[in-house]
Amino acid sequence: MAWNEDRARNRIRDFMDSVPEGDIKVEDFRTFLTEARVQKGMSADASVRAALVDIPRNRAITTDAVHVYANLIDFNDVLTEAGRETEASHKRALEFLHAHYQGCDELLDEFEMQRVDFHGSRLHAVVLAPEGAENESERVRVAVAFSAAFREMVERLGDKHPNFKTGVCIGIDSGPAVAIDSGRRGEREPLFIGSPANHAAKLADGTDEGLNLSPRAASAIGQATEPFAKSVFLNEEVQRRYLGDEITTAGVRQTANERLEKAYAAVLESLDARIKSDSGEAVFRFHHKEPPLKDLVYSDHPPSNAIRMELASIFADVDNFTAYIDNAIATGGIAEAVANLHVIRAEMGAVLRDDFGGRKVRYIGDCVHGLLAEGSKTETNAMDTMKKSVDAAAGLRSSFELCREMLPGIEDLGLAIGIDYGTTPICRLGLRGDASVRAAASRATCVSEQEQRLCNGIETKLGESAFKNSPANIREAFGSERIIQNLNAHTAEIMLGVMSSPYINSGVDAEPMMAHETDPAPPMRAHAKR
């Protein structure tokens, strides 16, 4: 398996033909909601959530919505036991996620909110109703009430079950964004693109507990903001007031606290049943999967048939994408931008799967998370895996360079890539059938995401474990800072073969293979755009 330019060009052309710009219908959420209700025989006050389950690939839905990101900030501590990742710590981490995912879903149902994604320790959800720009303040009020209820639920759950104890950092922003879905049945890939989602993620990207609003969201509910402030912190007293607020969803008027009590009772009932039937733990049983990972079917791997193996985790994120989308929204270029994103996403997934035998975990906005491994039925070959992963990173960049050449208007975008290596559990957490969560959570997945976030649009960076397990020629090329510029298929061929120069020639003036000295790595946390 290897990247091939002709094959990549042909794939990109096919992806471009599958959803051409001219076939993309852009419409506002209110119109889309009305159409969906008619098609599904729903009443006029039926749940807003039900309408956004399956957005066709040829649709782009403009929304005025409130975006909520919630980060379980102690998750990284749950991953380890005495400083090491063990089978027991991974079981505990997956049960931790399972419990909090379920609690969040129950609460989202009560507040009639749309879950966009769970990614490791991070939740992304949106408030879409009541629809229209004129109802922004009510949507923010719902988001704040939900956030206060979620923090209260997590605190109660941790008090009753200490293994699930964690702080929560929440970010909220409001404004225009575009909703799309490029997934398949069984692996939906809903996505809201635009500044509000990006900003909310950044506001939740911290290690301190609390609820942080953007100035726009704070102003919508009458919270005073300081001039030039980037966020507004809501203290505990203010949050408790919102728990007493009455909220109407789908025709039902209840306080946030009443909704919290219903959701919390459902979570406890389910959790207690699992504990009673399994002596305190969910049934997580692990096995090694023979590589390659491309044929991994997540639905075949519930907790009782979970995978746990050494592998490489790779994050590849489109740099400068939020600014690109905001400009598209402002200038009427949404159809072109959405068509381009569908192609970029599809090609990155194809490179991982078809060229290198890897498996996509999910798309996170314009970022792809993938897994790769080389080895036998019983063990992973670390050096072969790292060689394949670096080669795959180079293939991703080469395909992205072709996308920049073949797609209109994306010449200012780049690709930032991070890789790490380590033992990682993989399973599908059993929530809501097809909407259950594809989980691959370990220190390696956290570090690879962190390293990607330290990169600009021409850089690829290895985590310490990935670097240690790489062949000598890769370590030499990446250098002591574990980072390299302009690594594409051509330069990888030189690197993984016989290197004749301390420089990599990528079609530009020769530069040292190492990029500039990086800043010290921040604590591992959820993904947020640069």
* C-beta separation of 111 from 259 below 8 A: yes
Q: Which residue has the higher pLDDT, 283 or 140?
A: 140
pLDDT band per the 50, 70, 90 thresholds, residue 526: very low
> Roughly how many angstroms between the first and final C-alpha of the chain, as a whole number?
32
What is the mean predicted confidence (pLDDT) over 303-327? 95
**Could you tell me the pTM of the whole model?**
0.89
User: Could you give the C-alpha distances from 160 to 46, 157, 268, in angstroms and in order?
Assistant: 35, 5, 9
pLDDT at 504 over 50: no
**Sole residue written with tokens 């990682």:** 424
Helix ranges, 351-471 (H): 382-406, 443-453, 464-468
CATH topology of domain 24-277: Alpha-Beta Plaits (3.30.70)
Residue type, 355: D
Helices and strands in the chain: count of H runs, count of E runs: 16, 20
Residue 518 pLDDT exceeds 50: no
Q: Specify the DSSP class assigned to residue 434.
A: G
Over residues 443-453, the pLDDT tens digits come to 999 999 999 99
**Average pLDDT score over residue span 392-396:** 98
List the chain domain ranges.
24-277
Q: Give dist(CA 41, CA 51) in Å, integer.
A: 11
Query: Which helix (H) or strand (E) segment is 43 a member of?
Result: none
How remote is the C-alpha of 521 from its chain's centroid? 20
Highest mean pLDDT out of 187-201, 261-275, 354-368, 432-446: 354-368
pLDDT digits (tens, 9 = 90+) for 61-116: 999 999 999 999 999 999 998 789 999 999 999 999 988 998 999 999 899 898 88
Residue 56: its pLDDT value, please? Answer: 83
- Residue tagged 């949106």 (tokens): 126
What are the tens digits of pLDDT across the range 57-69?
Answer: 889 999 999 999 9
- pLDDT digit string (tens) for 369-389? 999 999 999 999 999 999 999
The reported pLDDT for the residue numbered 154 is 95
- Could you give the CA distance from residue 465 to residue 269 in angstroms, rounded to a whole number? 41
How confident is the prediction for the chain on average, in pLDDT? 87
DSSP per residue, 207-271: SS-EEEE-HHHHHHTT----TT-S-EEEPHHHHHHHHT-EEEETTEEEEHHHHHHHHHHHHHHHH
DSSP lists the bridge partners of residue 417 as 316, 460
pLDDT of residue 132: 85
- Cα distances from 21 to residues 18, 58, 408, 412, in angstroms, run 10, 9, 10, 19
pLDDT at 51: 54
Q: Is the pLDDT of residue 276 over 80?
A: no
Q: Which of 181, 176, 125, 488 is nearest to 341 (CA)?
A: 181
Residues 6+ apart with CB under 8 A from 460: 390, 393, 394, 397, 417, 418, 419, 483, 484, 487
Sequence-ordered alpha helix ranges (H) in 321-463: 321-331, 334-350, 382-406, 443-453
Over residues 204-246, the pLDDT tens digits come to 998 899 999 999 999 999 998 888 788 999 988 888 899 998 8
Distance between CA atoms of 359 and 445, rounded to whole angstroms? 14
Q: Give the model's pLDDT for residue 69.
A: 97
- Bigger pLDDT: 419 vs 500: 419
CB atoms within 10 A of CB 437: 22
Q: Are 65 and 128 in contact (CB under 8 A)?
A: yes
Task: Please compute the mean of the pLDDT values over residues 248-263 and round it to a whole number.
Answer: 87
